[in-house]
Amino acid sequence: MSAPKIGEMRLRMSLEAPVDTADDSGAMTRSYATLCNLWVKLTPVSGEARFVEGRQEQALEWLAQFRWRADVTSEMRLVLGARRLRIETAYDPDGQRRFLACRCEEIA
């Protein structure tokens, strides 16, 4: 995989981190807070239809590439409008800390 060119990172996406808060019954409620906005190159990798809890859903796999950040984890997500891409893995493709590549899953 080659490093993206600056002009290929055309999508402005929000990077969100989870925020867990306890409710009155002691259960945890998860919400997300925006950390920053990033210019991202988004490339489709694969897609599949599957049944979950008796209903069909489409799972799309994406490769998101953007400038290096050391704080990206697999609990975060990328957001573009109504689209939510859950980060599955984040890695440095060439080891030079210039760009970060993330495998993401979008459920439609």
Q: What is the CATH number of the domain that holds 81?
A: 2.40.10.270
Total domain count for the chain? 1
Q: What is the dihedral of CA 55, 105, 76, 12, to 10 degrees?
A: -120
Please tell me the distance from the alpha carbon of residue 3 to that of residue 15, in angstroms, as a whole number.
20
Give residue 46's pLDDT.
92
Q: What is the pTM of this model?
A: 0.86
Q: Are 68 and 38 in contact (CB under 8 A)?
A: no
Give residue 5's pLDDT.
84
Q: Does residue 52 surpass a pLDDT of 80?
A: no
Is the residue at 66 inside a domain?
Answer: yes
Is the residue at 1 inside a domain?
Answer: no
Is the residue at 36 inside a domain?
Answer: yes
Please name the amino acid found at residue 9.
Answer: M
Please tell me the distance from the alpha carbon of residue 108 to that of residue 92, in angstroms, as a whole number.
28
Q: Which domain holds residue 73?
A: 6-107
pLDDT band (50, 70, 90) for residue 25: confident
Q: pLDDT of 62-97, one tens digit each?
A: 999 999 999 999 999 999 999 999 999 999 998 999
* Average predicted confidence (pLDDT) for the chain: 91
